[in-house]
Structure 1
């Protein structure tokens, strides 16, 4: 942000959080992200079957950890009012 110019000193916040997923919730979400959006349906079904079995083997649920980073900066107002 500083290298782009036009902004003050950026501020950054980091939030670590966790969300529990059940097997079914994870299998519903998985095909909507990443490479699985481009995998043919038959291959996708096989992958989901194996992922489901892996989740079942650890009790049918698991926690997923996330980190969210927020960055803000105030724009420097170097503009001259029109008509000046």
Structure 2
């Protein structure tokens, strides 16, 4: 590899905001916040919206979509045109 053109590849903690899962891995992503990990060292932390701890496919829980509200919003916006 050429030196000086690649981003730094270092340990980073990814933390799921909803599921509470956190795992330490290596990445090139950067973050401005840090967290103290189980080994006592401090690592940058990246908060993610969804991971295997909160994704419906892995948890077996489905999410409820408000389809009735969407239909009503559509009818309010466009009316009952035939």
**Of Structure 1 and Structure 2, which has the larger fraction of its residues in helix?**
1
TM-score range, shorter chain: under 0.3
Higher alpha-carbon Rg: 1
Greater length-normalized contact order (CA 8 Å, ≥ 6 residues apart)? 1
TM-score, with length taken from structure 2: 0.21
